[in-house]
Chain A
Amino acid sequence: MSAFDFFDDIWCIHHAAYPARWAVMQARLTRLGIGGRVRRFPFVPSPADERIGRALSHRRIVQDAAERGLRSVLAIEDETLFLDRTEEVLAGAAAELRGRAWRLLHLGTWRGSDGLAAEPGCAHLRQTGGRAGPHAVAYGAAVFADLLARMPMNFGAMQEYLGANGSIDAILDGLGPAFVVHPAVATVPFSLPFQEPADQQRFVP
């Protein structure tokens, strides 16, 4: 039994331009005990602007989940690092989520989770307050329809949409209340120096 069993499906979005990342990522997922469960989702190519490919990849994962009638799906990007006590923290967060009509659950943010408002009665859930991060985010069924209606499905339209709305972070922030796991259990190398200082060395490379 794994805390990740809380999610009906898990995808790892892998960018074909960085083949080495996949083996590293598989090792990380295996350490978490979910190596056999996570499927590879090919990053939608968008060489001139990765924001487009990132947004389209997330959208297609959500579309797949919606079409299959899942209750939730977790999307992990292929550079994600996990905290050394991810299992324990995520299990606590999952327990606190049960019974709530949650929409988005971020496993980490660009700047950790300290300083964010705690969800009443919860030790492991905080409100994102506009500080989300797309590198490890779970989508609940309650957000599927809204997200699919807002985010265009083809390249050109997504380019225009991002032009007007910024990055996927801003789009996710616009989807309403969201939670972030506390302490943040996922990050990426780019945002590692911005995480809580006490946790920076506790992510596993």
Chain B
Amino acid sequence: MSHPRIFVHIPAYRDRECQWTLRDMFERARHPDRVFAGVCWQTDPVEDTDCFLIRPCPAQVRTANFHIREARGLGWARAKAQSLWQGEEYSLQIDSHMRFADDWDEQMIDLLAACDSPDPVLTLYPASYQPPDTRENFDRPRVQMIRRFLPNGLLEFGTEPVPDGAPADRPMPTAAVAGAFIVGSARILRDAPSDPDIYFNGEEPNLAVRLWTAGFDLFSPHVTVLYHYYLRKDGARHWNDAISRETQELTARTLRRLRLLCEPEAFPPEEVAELGRYGLGTRRSLAEYEAFAGVSFTARSIASQARSYPWVRPATVRDALALPDTLGPAPGTQLFVLGEEGVLFAEEKGTLHRLNQAAARNWCALEAGWGSERIAADAAAARGITTDAAMAELRELAAHWIGEGLLRDTAAAPATGPRLDPARFAFRCRDYRLLDTVVRLRFGDATLEALIHPAFAHLQVDSAGSTPAATLTMVRILDWHYIFAGDEMLLLADTPRKLVPKLKAEVMARAINRHDHVLHLHSAAVMHAGRLVLFPAGSGNGKTLLAARLLSLGCEYFSDEAVLLRRDGTVRPIQAALSVKTGGLEALEPHFPGLSALPEHDREDGVTVHYLPPPRERLPPPGRTARPAVVVFPRYEPGAAPRLRPVPPADALGRLLDECLAIPRRLDTEAVATIVETVERASCWELVTGELDAAARQVMALAEQAG
């Protein structure tokens, strides 16, 4: 291709920056004559005249013009802009507020050529600029990566720098997409065009899945070619101009289309077919994308591989995965059949994994001892796909299950645990109950028991004869301390100070995983005057201090750091010891004499804490549950006089979800109604704390006044 041309498609919603974007685009191009733009303008002809102060290279800029009342969101606008393509070889998708590196056109084509792929696409959240043209380059090359599942089920992307020492001399593979920068061959416009029914959020996971299954390989460039204006606080947005009901409908439609795309097995085929040309690509399967990216859309889980560089699984690993005929369920993994679908329960971890119909069928076949070829042939016949495609799906599925510890090779050497000679270790066991879960701690010597037991003593139960949900074993060998769960080493530490924090986290995780709830909040909770008060807040905002002081003033203890909202809107106490940081000792010592003398422990985040067992007289009676009556968002400011301000319910809901650590399963209408009702019923406040006593008394007054 001697003179490749680039088609740049841009949706512009009342954006004055767009004209400067176009000017910079042409000025910085090495071959401006080979650059063509398609802009979908959405403006108010009366109010937005300043969007058209200049008209750079008008012969090379095609436009589709709409009144803002006609606008239907981002996907619609991108589709309109894409419709202005006239056969250029390359497609570049950007936003309307961008700046360009010198020779960006030539650089992008060179970068695409440097990708190890026949069908590469470059994508990355660009570096930042501020108008008119202040640019900030990245310190290190960055890669687009998968960050998390949002509560509404959308996959959120971000960028991370390439670690020091890792090579960054060529574009790097990624499974994630940045809507503000996607460049590749113009085949994109044919095989993965923008879906006009995607309103705004959701565009990126939609395109990631569709581009990848259409056979494109995604890469993040290692050099900066584009800049984006991220701080557009004054910029116009469609959702500010449109009526709220309309944007809600558009958002709901987006979420439904994402589910049709990413969870097709959950819908009848005729509904999936509604996606039409905006559905999955035909060159790779969704299961292949999930394996490459390390995500499971049905389970809403993200595998550990996606958490560390290079964030995707190399093709060599995927292709090399052998499927011996001796694969079988790992011990403690149980399938529960639900109609034609199923749920896998991993007993040791207490986790649930939903299986769609095809996955459940594969699992049953593996359980029955069928070899991989027979399973693939059976799946191919049942679903009308090729045996190769069925085998590829099975391979990816098996890789996911092996990675999650659900499946293992039964012929492989049996997993062998630590060799802890009972003759050397004077093991003593104690059982502790948190929520409904009993965990047995097995101490290798009396010193360990003396160190660990006090932090759990108030939870101890006599469960002789019953089987605990888990047994955790602690031993010291030479200078090292270990925690094991069965054969699995949970901790290796060179100091005993790390044992209790890890044990507390493990015990809590097991209890929480076994407890039915709709929302897991990072929050403390106490009860006063018969009313439950929550303190949702991140670390360092004084929630433990406040909770501890309230206990000393007679409140009942519900929790130090975790609140589980149940489907019926109630909360149960989780009475693990309070983690008091060193900085809080002085304030609490007068109320808990001896606190400073308790052993110091080192948390994984490097913070030193003392574990304060809640006074027995402050523990609620067994079976106590309560609905939150007051929600206080504490914010710690040293020395500040307490300031209290009401938080409107909508804000409170948002802030509550900000402190949400996990939603254990897909939210349904009933669960969302529970969360909304909880916020509506409670009185919600922000409390700036600095004077502990005054803050505590204000909280008590709030509880007393709550209806």
User: Can you list 5 A-B pairs, Cβ within 8 angstroms, ordered by A?
Assistant: A47-B166, A111-B416, A164-B316, A192-B478, A193-B477
Using known A-B contacts A163-B317, A164-B317, determine if residue A194 contacts B416 with beta carbons closer than 8 Å: yes
Q: Which of B265-273, B306-314, B551-559 contacts A (4 or more CB under 8 A)?
A: B306-314
Query: Is A1 part of the contact surface with B, judged by Cβ < 8 Å?
Result: no
Query: Is A64 part of the contact surface with B, judged by Cβ < 8 Å?
Result: no
Q: CB within 8 Å of A: which of B488-508?
A: 489, 492, 494
The 9 closest A-B CB pairs, nearest first, are: A48-B309, A45-B165, A197-B421, A193-B418, A164-B316, A163-B317, A163-B314, A47-B163, A48-B163
Would you give the 0/1 interface string for A17-52, flagging 1 where the beta carbon is closer than 8 Å to chain B? 000000000000000000000000000011111000
Q: CB within 8 Å of A: which of B197-250?
A: none
CB distance from A195 to the nearest CB of B (A): 7
Asked whether A193 lies within 8 Å of B420 as measured between CB atoms, the reply is yes
Using known A-B contacts A160-B316, A197-B421, determine if residue A46 contacts B166 with beta carbons closer than 8 Å: yes
Say which residue of A164, A192, A203 sits within 8 Å of B320 (CB atoms). A164
Asked whether A49 lies within 8 Å of B308 as measured between CB atoms, the reply is yes
Asked whether A156 lies within 8 Å of B478 as measured between CB atoms, the reply is no
Using known A-B contacts A48-B163, A192-B477, A200-B477, determine if residue A160 contacts B314 with beta carbons closer than 8 Å: yes
Of chain B, the residue at the smallest CB distance from A81 is B478
Query: Is B164 part of the contact surface with A, judged by Cβ < 8 Å?
Result: yes
Query: Is A6 part of the contact surface with B, judged by Cβ < 8 Å?
Result: no
Of chain B, the residue at the smallest CB distance from A202 is B478
CA distance in complex: A62, B165 (Å): 22
Asked whether A47 lies within 8 Å of B165 as measured between CB atoms, the reply is yes
Using known A-B contacts A45-B165, A49-B308, determine if residue A205 contacts B479 with beta carbons closer than 8 Å: yes
Instruction: Determine the chain A residues whose CB is within 8 A of the CB of B138 once the complex forms.
Output: none
CA distance in complex: A198, B308 (Å): 38
Instruction: Determine the chain B residues whose CB is within 8 A of the CB of A203 once the complex forms.
Output: 478
Instruction: Determine the chain A residues whose CB is within 8 A of the CB of B164 once the complex forms.
Output: 45, 47
Query: Is B475 part of the contact surface with A, judged by Cβ < 8 Å?
Result: yes
Asked whether A46 lies within 8 Å of B165 as measured between CB atoms, the reply is yes
Would you give the 0/1 interface string for B306-346, flagging 1 where the beta carbon is closer than 8 Å to chain A? 00111001101100100000000000000000000000000
Would you give the 0/1 interface string for B596-618, flagging 1 where the beta carbon is closer than 8 Å to chain A? 00000000000000000000000
B interface list, Cβ under 8 A from A? 163-167, 308-310, 313-314, 316-317, 320, 413, 416-421, 424, 475, 477-480, 482, 484, 489, 492, 494
Instruction: Determine the chain B residues whose CB is within 8 A of the CB of A156 once the complex forms.
Output: 167
Asked whether B419 lies within 8 Å of A193 as measured between CB atoms, the reply is yes
Asked whether A197 lies within 8 Å of B424 as measured between CB atoms, the reply is yes
Instruction: Determine the chain B residues whose CB is within 8 A of the CB of A160 once the complex forms.
Output: 314, 316
Query: Is A155 part of the contact surface with B, judged by Cβ < 8 Å?
Result: yes
CB distance from A171 to the nearest CB of B (A): 14
Say which residue of B167, B314, B419, B479 sits within 8 Å of A155 (CB atoms). B167
**Besides A112-B419, A193-B475, 17 new A-B residue pairs in contact (Cβ under 8 A), listed by A number:** A46-B165, A47-B164, A47-B166, A48-B165, A49-B308, A53-B165, A111-B416, A155-B167, A156-B167, A164-B316, A164-B320, A189-B479, A192-B480, A194-B416, A195-B419, A198-B421, A200-B478
CA distance in complex: A13, B498 (Å): 27
Of chain B, the residue at the smallest CB distance from A114 is B419
Asked whether A189 lies within 8 Å of B166 as measured between CB atoms, the reply is no
Of chain B, the residue at the smallest CB distance from A189 is B480
Instruction: Determine the chain A residues whose CB is within 8 A of the CB of B320 once the complex forms.
Output: 163-164
CA distance in complex: A190, B479 (Å): 12
Instruction: Determine the chain B residues whose CB is within 8 A of the CB of A45 once the complex forms.
Output: 164-165
CB distance from B593 to the nearest CB of A (A): 38
Query: Is A86 part of the contact surface with B, judged by Cβ < 8 Å?
Result: no
Tell which of B310, B416, B475, B477 has the most Cβ of chain A within 10 Å.
B477
Of chain B, the residue at the smallest CB distance from A20 is B494
Asked whether A48 lies within 8 Å of B166 as measured between CB atoms, the reply is yes
Query: Is A2 part of the contact surface with B, judged by Cβ < 8 Å?
Result: no
Asked whether B482 lies within 8 Å of A163 as measured between CB atoms, the reply is no
Instruction: Determine the chain B residues whose CB is within 8 A of the CB of A194 once the complex forms.
Output: 416-419
Using known A-B contacts A111-B416, A189-B492, A205-B478, determine if residue A155 contacts B316 with beta carbons closer than 8 Å: no
CB distance from A166 to the nearest CB of B (A): 9
Tell which of B308, B310, B317, B419 has the most Cβ of chain A within 10 Å.
B419
Instruction: Determine the chain A residues whose CB is within 8 A of the CB of B416 once the complex forms.
Output: 111, 194
Of chain A, the residue at the smallest CB distance from B422 is A197
Instruction: Determine the chain A residues whose CB is within 8 A of the CB of B417 once the complex forms.
Output: 194
Query: Is A5 part of the contact surface with B, judged by Cβ < 8 Å?
Result: no
Instruction: Determine the chain B residues whose CB is within 8 A of the CB of A192 once the complex forms.
Output: 477-478, 480
Of chain A, the residue at the smallest CB distance from B308 is A48
CB distance from A63 to the nearest CB of B (A): 19
Asked whether B477 lies within 8 Å of A201 as measured between CB atoms, the reply is yes
CB distance from B306 to the nearest CB of A (A): 13
CB distance from A102 to the nearest CB of B (A): 25
Query: Is A196 part of the contact surface with B, judged by Cβ < 8 Å?
Result: yes
Instruction: Determine the chain A residues whose CB is within 8 A of the CB of B489 once the complex forms.
Output: 190, 193
Instruction: Determine the chain B residues whose CB is within 8 A of the CB of A72 once the complex forms.
Output: none
CA distance in complex: A67, B465 (Å): 66
CA distance in complex: A140, B1 (Å): 54
Query: Is A128 part of the contact surface with B, judged by Cβ < 8 Å?
Result: no
Instruction: Determine the chain A residues whose CB is within 8 A of the CB of B492 once the complex forms.
Output: 189-190
CB distance from A60 to the nearest CB of B (A): 15
CB distance from A159 to the nearest CB of B (A): 7
CB distance from B483 to the nearest CB of A (A): 11
Instruction: Determine the chain B residues whose CB is within 8 A of the CB of A198 once the complex forms.
Output: 421
Asked whether A48 lies within 8 Å of B310 as measured between CB atoms, the reply is yes
Using known A-B contacts A48-B308, A48-B310, A155-B167, determine if residue A197 contacts B420 with beta carbons closer than 8 Å: yes
Asked whether B166 lies within 8 Å of A155 as measured between CB atoms, the reply is yes
CA distance in complex: A112, B416 (Å): 12
Of chain B, the residue at the smallest CB distance from A165 is B320
CA distance in complex: A49, B313 (Å): 13
Of chain A, the residue at the smallest CB distance from B484 is A193
Of chain A, the residue at the smallest CB distance from B311 is A48
CB distance from A154 to the nearest CB of B (A): 8
Instruction: Determine the chain A residues whose CB is within 8 A of the CB of B421 once the complex forms.
Output: 197-198, 200
Would you give the 0/1 interface string for A151-180, flagging 1 where the beta carbon is closer than 8 Å to chain B? 000011001100110000000000000000
Asked whether B309 lies within 8 Å of A49 as measured between CB atoms, the reply is yes
Instruction: Determine the chain A residues whose CB is within 8 A of the CB of B413 once the complex forms.
Output: 130
Say which residue of A163, A195, A200 sits within 8 Å of B316 (CB atoms). A163
CB distance from B21 to the nearest CB of A (A): 35
Instruction: Determine the chain B residues whose CB is within 8 A of the CB of A205 once the complex forms.
Output: 478-479
Instruction: Determine the chain A residues whose CB is within 8 A of the CB of B308 once the complex forms.
Output: 48-49
CA distance in complex: A116, B492 (Å): 27
CB distance from B341 to the nearest CB of A (A): 33
Of chain B, the residue at the smallest CB distance from A203 is B478
Instruction: Determine the chain A residues whose CB is within 8 A of the CB of B478 once the complex forms.
Output: 81, 189, 192, 200-201, 203, 205
Q: CB within 8 Å of B: which of A41-95?
A: 45-49, 53, 81
Using known A-B contacts A164-B317, A164-B320, A201-B477, determine if residue A193 contacts B482 with beta carbons closer than 8 Å: yes
Instruction: Determine the chain B residues whose CB is within 8 A of the CB of A197 once the complex forms.
Output: 419-421, 424
Of chain A, the residue at the smallest CB distance from B164 is A47
Instruction: Determine the chain B residues whose CB is within 8 A of the CB of A196 once the complex forms.
Output: 419
